[in-house]
Structures are given as structure tokens and as C-alpha cells.
């Protein structure tokens, strides 16, 4: 018999770590290759670690609710020589002590605070690189902040006493000491991911334009559909068509060039526990509203369960958010770091509208439509024209 390690796998593009949530089997159990062994949580979703081989679980060395980097040792499984040969391990002598020592050394190379620092794009929400918040941070202060796992933006609440208002190490230590006197709760991995993504987004000049859109045609059209698409899906489809007609507004500025999108993949913001997930509808411009409905509803439910599939996360060029579900009539959402645009839909309200033919005001169900955008890529005129095109399509739902 041969013992092989259970290693934290690379669970998705750029995922650096995951928290152990639950063990699905116990030591002594016989398992098959590919069988789920451990439930883990990344910054945005719960996933499973599968068995690398068929055999018997010897032990789990990882602790529940602890975070482990990719490649960390989670446990061991005993396999037959035949199974080891199938895996190509028949000529490799696995040394438990060496493996454990290597993993431990790797894990200890990072500060404990790094366990709570987001490092990767995870399951639908891009995670940022470093972001500068203060005008100047001394090397000594940077080292202290790194030790605590803090970012430059966290200094926004510190009053600097140094030259030109710079924050000194002494200022920082007083700030930390005062914080420790307050009631503290641990931020979830999702909340940290959202915070970091928004910090990265805010490094760009952002602006928002808006206009009212009549929902009556949409609501009439919706009654004839099965399944009935929600207003956000109408908005998503309209945005996809508008961007397919002119992809430049959905591009990104890199250096002195606009990188146009290779596909019209549009995300939709879904409220999940302690954060927001953004499942992605691929090639939304190539499918009719009816064809999109089933996939849309499926992804919304999976997002709420935090079990989005890999092919439905990341890589989108814009997001649609229906903040009207919270009773809000107007908002200025922030585009994700990898995107230029976010389209928002407010709550519908009965509003008076002048009917030229009748010569009187008539009640119309109206909602605010907003477009937040990276001002480096778009100016107000271009953003306004894009938003007007979206509104036009929404008021003519048969075109969707």
C-alpha cells in the first residue's frame, strides 16, 4: 500500500486559497477517484475538493474554518500499488515527513494576516491588485501595515501629524490602538473581496448618466412570455444588443489603446449572503430573450447558493443591476474592475406623462435607467447615446 497526499487544488483561475468548511467523509472511509472529500469556500463560492485516487482516507490534517493556500497538504489517502501505478506514482517514493515539511515551510513564508488578504479573481467577482490611498507611506509604515494585512486605503481614517499631513508610524499605532477598543467582528471572505474590488474600481474616474424609461410595453410583453423574464433580463438583453451594434463603449483603455470585447458577455448582480455575486450570460447578443430566460433563472439561483459554475464567472464586459428590488429609484453603481459599464434599473413608479394625442396627462409606469461608466473610455455624450438606445429597445420589447 502507498500513501499519497490530498492537496488543495487550483480551484479556478488565479484562486490562491480557500477555507475548509466541512469534511464530506471521515478517516477510515473508502472513497473513489473523483469523489468529493472536502467542502471549501473561496472568496465568492463554496466548492469541493475531490479525491485524487481510489483508496482509504488515512487522516485529514487541515482544520475547519482555517484558510489554506493552493498546494497545501489537507490530508492523506492510502491507495493500492495498482492505483499508484495508474497515477504514475509507482516509481515515486512519497515521503510524508518531507511533504509535510515542504508545505509547512511554504505556508509559514507568508504572514498570518495574509490569510485574510484577497489575492485572486474568484467565482464571478474580480479581486484587485494593490491600490494606493495615501500620498506617501514610509517603508517602515508599509512594513507595519503589511504585517497587519492592511491596505493604503485603510489609512483614510487616520489624521496625519507628519510633514504635509503625512501619516507617521506613531499616528498609525494610535489609530490601531483605538480600533482595538471598539467592538470588532471578522469580515467574511466575500466582504473582503467586494471591498478590494471596489477599491480597485475607484482608482478610475467614474461618472453616471440617467434617464426615465416607460415600463408599460415591457410589462405587457412579459405577460405573454413563458417563463416570464424579469425587468433586469430585458435590460440585459437590450444592453447586449446595443453593445453588439457598437462595441467601443464596452472596451477597456489599456495604455493609449481601446481594447474591444471579443464577445458580448454581460453579468447580472445578485445579492448573496454578505455580498454580491455576478453570474455571466455568455454571448447575450446572440440569443433571444426567450432563449436567455432559462439560463438566467438558473444562474440567479446558483448565485444565491454560492455555487456558480466556472463558465459563468468572470470575463464579462458589463453588469446589469436591478437596485429597484430594494425600493431605490436612483443609484450610482460602481463598475467592476474588469469592466467599463454597469447598467442600473430603479423601482417602477406611476408617473404622469403628457399624451399629445389625448391632450392630457396619463399615468405611466416609469423607472430610472442609469449607466455608470469609466470616464476615460466614454464621455457623457457617448454614454447618453448608449443609454438612449437601451431605453428604446426596452420600450420595444418585441425586438428583444
* 329, 349 contact by CB (below 8 A): yes
User: In angstroms, rounded to a whole number, what is the distance separating the alpha carbons of residues 143 and 41?
Assistant: 29
Same domain membership, residue 169 and residue 188 = yes
Q: What angle do CA 13, 17, 20 make, to 5 degrees?
A: 125
Instruction: State the maximum Cα–Cα separation within the chain, in Å, rounded to a whole number.
Output: 89
Q: Compute, in degrees rounded to 10, the torsion defined by CA atoms 229, 232, 235, 241.
A: -70
Residue 34: name the closest of 85, 99, 83, 97 by CA. 83
Whether 47 is covered by a domain: the verdict is yes
Whether 133 is covered by a domain: the verdict is no
Whether 129 is covered by a domain: the verdict is no
Same domain membership, residue 216 and residue 154 = no
Whether 249 is covered by a domain: the verdict is yes
The cell numbers describing 137, all together, are 507611506
Whether 117 is covered by a domain: the verdict is no
Whether 130 is covered by a domain: the verdict is no
Same domain membership, residue 225 and residue 103 = no
Sign of the four-CA dihedral 166, 170, 173, 179: negative
Same domain membership, residue 231 and residue 143 = no
Please state whether the predicted TM-score (pTM) of the whole model is above 0.75: no
Q: What angle do CA 216, 318, 121 make, to 5 degrees?
A: 140
* 144, 135 contact by CB (below 8 A): no
Residue 241: name the closest of 284, 206, 210, 178 by CA. 284
Q: Write out the chain's pLDDT in tens, 400 residues.
A: 788 899 988 776 556 788 899 999 999 999 998 899 999 987 667 888 999 889 999 999 999 988 888 888 999 999 998 888 777 665 444 444 334 434 343 343 333 334 443 333 334 433 332 323 345 677 888 888 888 888 777 777 677 777 666 788 888 888 888 888 888 888 888 788 888 888 888 889 999 999 999 999 999 999 999 889 999 999 999 999 999 999 999 998 888 888 899 999 999 999 987 788 999 999 999 999 999 999 999 999 999 988 888 889 888 999 999 999 999 999 999 999 889 999 999 999 999 999 999 999 999 999 999 999 999 999 999 999 999 999 999 999 999 9
Cα 63 to the chain's mean position, in Å?
Answer: 26
Task: Give me the residue label for grid cell 448573496.
Answer: 272
User: In angstroms, rounded to a whole number, what is the distance separating the alpha carbons of residues 44 and 307?
Assistant: 9
Residue 312: name the closest of 345, 343, 340, 270 by CA. 270
Q: Which residues pair with 344 in a beta bridge?
A: 321, 370
CATH assignment of the domain containing 54: 2.40.50.100
* 346, 324 contact by CB (below 8 A): yes
Instruction: Provide φ and ψ at 163, rounded to 5°.
Output: -60, 135
* 219, 301 contact by CB (below 8 A): no
Same domain membership, residue 147 and residue 69 = no
Same domain membership, residue 17 and residue 72 = yes
DSSP β-ladder status, 36-41 and 46-50: antiparallel
Q: Give the chain's end-to-end CA distance (angstroms, integer).
A: 61
Q: How many Cα atoms are found within 13 Å in the side-chain-facing hemisphere of 157?
A: 9
Q: How many Cα atoms are found within 13 Å in the side-chain-facing hemisphere of 179?
A: 12
Same domain membership, residue 289 and residue 166 = no
Task: Give me the residue label for grid cell 515551510.
Answer: 105
Q: Which residues pair with 57 in a beta bridge?
A: 77
Rg, C-alpha atoms of the chain: 26
Same domain membership, residue 209 and residue 185 = no
* 57, 70 contact by CB (below 8 A): no
Same domain membership, residue 341 and residue 238 = yes
Q: Which residues pair with 211 in a beta bridge?
A: 369
Same domain membership, residue 164 and residue 107 = no
**Domain coverage including residue 101:** 2-112
Number of domains in the chain: 3
Whether 118 is covered by a domain: the verdict is no
Same domain membership, residue 284 and residue 186 = no
Amino acid at each position: 500500500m502507498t500513501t499519497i497526499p490530498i492537496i488543495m487544488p487550483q480551484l479556478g483561475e488565479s484562486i490562491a486559497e480557500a477555507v475548509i468548511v466541512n469534511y464530506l467523509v471521515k478517516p477510515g472511509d473508502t472513497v473513489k477517484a473523483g469523489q468529493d472529500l472536502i467542502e471549501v469556500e473561496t472568496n465568492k463560492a463554496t466548492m469541493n475538493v475531490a479525491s485524487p485516487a481510489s483508496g482509504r482516507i488515512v487522516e485529514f490534517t487541515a482544520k475547519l474554518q482555517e484558510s489554506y493556500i493552493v498546494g497545501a497538504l489537507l490530508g492523506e489517502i492510502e491507495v493500492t500499488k495498482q492505483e499508484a501505478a495508474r497515477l504514475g506514482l509507482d516509481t515515486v517514493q512519497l515521503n510524508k515527513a518531507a511533504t509535510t515539511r515542504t508545505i509547512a515551510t511554504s505556508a509559514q513564508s507568508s504572514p498570518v494576516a495574509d490569510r485574510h488578504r484577497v489575492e485572486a479573481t474568484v467565482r464571478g467577482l474580480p479581486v484587485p491588485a494593490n491600490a494606493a490611498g495615501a500620498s506617501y507611506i514610509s517603508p517602515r509604515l508599509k512594513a507595519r501595515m503589511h504585517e497587519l494585512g492592511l491596505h493604503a486605503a485603510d489609512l483614510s481614517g487616520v489624521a496625519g501629524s507628519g510633514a504635509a499631513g503625512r501619516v507617521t508610524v506613531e499616528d498609525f499605532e494610535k489609530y490601531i490602538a483605538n480600533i482595538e477598543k471598539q467592538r470588532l467582528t471578522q469580515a467574511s471572505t466575500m466582504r473582503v473581496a467586494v471591498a478590494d474590488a471596489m477599491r480597485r474600481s475607484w482608482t478610475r474616474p467614474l461618472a453616471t448618466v440617467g434617464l426615465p424609461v416607460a415600463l408599460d410595453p415591457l410589462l405587457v410583453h412579459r405577460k405573454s412570455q413563458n417563463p416570464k423574464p424579469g425587468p433586469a433580463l430585458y435590460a440585459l438583453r437590450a444592453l447586449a444588443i446595443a453593445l453588439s451594434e457598437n462595441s467601443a463603449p464596452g472596451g477597456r483603455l489599456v495604455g493609449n489603446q481601446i481594447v474591444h470585447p471579443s464577445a458580448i458577455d454581460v453579468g447580472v448582480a445578485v445579492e448573496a449572503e454578505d455580498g454580491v455575486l455576478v453570474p455571466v450570460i455568455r454571448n447575450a447578443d446572440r440569443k433571444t430573450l426567450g432563449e436567455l430566460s432559462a439560463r438566467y433563472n438558473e444562474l440567479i439561483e446558483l448565485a444565491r447558493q454560492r455555487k456558480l459554475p466556472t463558465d459563468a464567472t468572470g470575463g464579462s464586459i458589463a453588469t446589469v443591476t436591478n437596485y429597484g428590488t430594494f425600493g431605490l429609484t436612483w443609484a450610482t453603481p460602481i463598475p467592476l474592475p474588469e469592466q467599463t459599464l454597469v447598467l442600473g434599473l430603479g423601482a417602477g413608479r406611476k408617473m404622469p406623462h403628457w399624451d399629445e394625442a389625448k391632450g392630457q396627462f396619463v399615468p405611466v409606469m416609469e423607472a430610472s435607467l442609469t449607466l455608470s461608466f469609466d470616464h476615460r473610455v466614454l464621455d457623457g455624450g457617448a454614454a447618453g447615446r448608449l443609454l438612449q438606445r437601451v431605453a428604446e429597445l426596452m420600450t420595444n420589447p418585441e425586438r428583444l
